[in-house]
Structure 1
Amino acid sequence: MRLGEEGIIKRLVAAALDEDKAGRDVTSQILFGPRETTKGQIVHKGQEAVLCGLDFALGAFRAMDGGIKIKVLAREGERIKSMRTILHLEGRARAVLAAERTALNFLCHLSGIATKTREFTVALGARKSPVISDTRKTHPMLRAAEKYAVAVGGGSPHRRDLAEMAMVKDNHLAALRRLHWSWHDRLSEAARQLRERKISVEIEVQNFSELDAALWVNPDWIMLDNMAYAGLRRAVRHIRQKAPAVKIEVSGGVGLKDVKYLARLPIDRISAGAIVHSAPFANFSLELL
């Protein structure tokens, strides 16, 4: 998953610097002259982490000082141990200090997501299927960056937005049942039209009644949501017998301890919102030299 070609990094960094009013840093501007320079390094001080967000950090510093000198000492996606220095920099003091927090926020947040995702993918062992995916439970305006971090951590980003694929969830079905007497026919026709437009269709189910109704529609994917393990096993076996071409996603409060059990099932995807919304910040800091 690549962000640079779409200009996403530049836009997100610019928005973050503007949010922080980095160009009006009253503290740095009163303490340092416009030509005074400083040297520093960014160091990882926490537990072992998967490095992610380097281009965001570099973008923040360069946006404030186009002439800043930066030497990168680590690779995106690399596992880094505590006290590892990931880059050296030299530039205008005002710019370095104004961009510091924005650069570190991106590094800490995205590395945290990549690290959490790596923990989940490692729990799969050597299996190629299922894959670990994220959800749309992301922070506003940061989805592209967070899904990028999932990819860096070894995950498989899932459904970037509402336009990428159709996912019929519980509230869609609830509204259909209330508004349309022949709701099942309407759902089937909608699925047919979407397939003609080459748009994948996924239906969320929480019990066997909903599962049978979903199979009748013949979707591309079925999501088994919030089912107990015994029920999941039965549901997966039922789908594989009735519709072997349908792909299966398991979701709903999936934690790290659940992954190794779910991975034993013949499913295609495990989606876990926790790899984004519950990922702790990695611990990076800027040290001036």
Structure 2
Amino acid sequence: MTAPAPLDPIAVRRAVEAALAEDLGRAGDITSAATIPASAVARVVIAARQTGRLAGLQLAEAAFRSLDPAISFKAEVEDGARLTAGEVIARIEGPARAVLSAERTALNFLGHLSGVATETARYGDLIAHTRARICCTRKTTPGLRIFEKYAVRCGGGSNHRFGLDDAILIKDNHIAVAGGVEAALRGAKSSAGHLLKIEIEVDTLEQLDRVIAEGADVVLLDNMSPAVLREAVERIDGRMLAEASGNVSLDTVVAIAESGVDLISVGRITHSAPTLDLGLDVAVA
């Protein structure tokens, strides 16, 4: 796959500067300052130690270059690439103190985001024979949402809404407080502009029938079995997008996808993805 559109450089800079400030603290990298001559140059390669999908190159490069613009960062592959164990991801060269000081911040971003991309790809590969797409949720690490959602795209997945302000998603608590499916949908339609999508969650086929009668852009079919999902898809009959959600796992995702739904939202691709093991090897000249 081709790499997704680049991340906003302002957002990248802010995140990297915050992470570096957290790591460098009040006195900076006192270990490198005490042991590495100021004139030393480091040549570094970042390589994959296991198979996976890559995400986060912009953040990794920014971590090194924020500490010294003289550092050269050459990526050997693009975000979204499938990695094999031992494959070189990037070559970095520059003042050794800065390279070593930025190492952990760069690898933290790159390993975490590549882990999200890898987990997303695992789900996507399992359902590639269906029309369903894997999408993420708002179950993200505070402060890292735009990067984790970017990583989902690197893994071949799709993004759900980014926040509370870019789509209307009526959940069970909204329905309960609003006074029912119809009241919630009518209220949403009365306030939504023509570019704003409306999605509503249902737990039963009876609720689904009421949504079909009232109309929405997307219906979220929550915690339904594959058999009930198939019946729901038949009832929807293309009137709106059908999204399945609720305790989706690698063991259940194929049966869910084969029910005919359009989207499958998976919280664990962001909140529980294991970090991809990446390493940095240095040769000092």
2:58 paired residue number: 55
For 1:263, give the aligned amino acid.
Answer: A
Would the aligned equivalents of 1:41 and 1:287 in 2 still touch at CA under 8 Å?
Answer: yes
Q: CA deviation at 1:76?
A: 1.9
What stretches of structure 2 of length at least 5 have no aligned partner?
none
For 2:152, give the aligned amino acid.
Answer: V
Alpha-carbon distance in 2 for matches of 1:185, 1:232 = 22
Q: How many residues align?
A: 279
1:27 paired residue number: 31
Would the aligned equivalents of 2:152 and 2:159 in 1 still touch at CA under 8 Å?
Answer: yes
Cα distance change on mapping 1:15 and 1:3 into 2, 3 Å = farther
Cα distance change on mapping 1:75 and 1:196 into 2, 3 Å = closer
2:40 paired residue number: 36
1:100 paired residue number: 103
Is residue 213 of structure 1 aligned with residue 213 of structure 2?
A: no
Alpha-carbon distance in 2 for matches of 1:124, 1:184 = 31
Secondary structure of 1:39 counterpart: strand
CA deviation profile, 1:52-97 (whole Å, cap 9, x unmatched): 1111111100001110123322222211111122222221222111
Alpha-carbon distance in 2 for matches of 1:278, 1:202 = 25
Alpha-carbon distance in 2 for matches of 1:207, 1:184 = 12
Q: CA deviation at 1:3?
A: 4.2
CA deviation profile, 1:231-273 (whole Å, cap 9, x unmatched): 2222222222xxx321110011111222222222232111111
What stretches of structure 1 of length at least 5 have no aligned partner?
178-182
After TM superposition, the structure 1 stretch with the greater mean CA deviation from structure 2, 141-150 or 72-81, is: 72-81
2:253 paired residue number: 259
From 134, 137, 144, give the equivalent of 1:135: 137
Q: CA deviation at 1:152?
A: 0.8
What is the aligned-residue RMSD (CA, Å)?
A: 1.9
CA deviation profile, 1:205-236 (whole Å, cap 9, x unmatched): 11133223333331111100111222222222
Would the aligned equivalents of 1:3 and 1:9 in 2 still touch at CA under 8 Å?
Answer: no
After TM superposition, the structure 1 stretch with the greater mean CA deviation from structure 2, 14-23 or 196-205, is: 14-23
Secondary structure of 1:203 counterpart: strand
Cα distance change on mapping 1:6 and 1:210 into 2, 3 Å = farther
Q: What does 1:157-236 align with in structure 2 at a 5 Å threshold?
A: 157-177=159-179, 183=180, 186-236=183-233
Alpha-carbon distance in 1 for matches of 2:217, 2:23 = 44
CA deviation profile, 1:111-164 (whole Å, cap 9, x unmatched): 11111111111112244x221111111100111000101101111111111111
Is residue 114 of structure 1 aligned with residue 117 of structure 2?
A: yes
Alpha-carbon distance in 2 for matches of 1:250, 1:163 = 22
Alpha-carbon distance in 2 for matches of 1:20, 1:213 = 53
Alpha-carbon distance in 2 for matches of 1:250, 1:4 = 28
For 2:32, give the aligned amino acid.
Answer: S
Alpha-carbon distance in 2 for matches of 1:229, 1:71 = 47
Cα distance change on mapping 1:86 and 1:6 into 2, 3 Å = closer
Cα distance change on mapping 1:185 and 1:77 into 2, 3 Å = closer
For 2:270, give the aligned amino acid.
Answer: V
Secondary structure of 1:4 counterpart: coil
For 1:29, give the aligned amino acid.
Answer: A
Secondary structure of 1:250 counterpart: strand
Alpha-carbon distance in 2 for matches of 1:198, 1:4 = 24
Alpha-carbon distance in 1 for matches of 2:74, 2:261 = 44
Cα distance change on mapping 1:14 and 1:230 into 2, 3 Å = same
From 234, 238, 258, give the equivalent of 1:237: 234
Q: CA deviation at 1:279?
A: 1.2
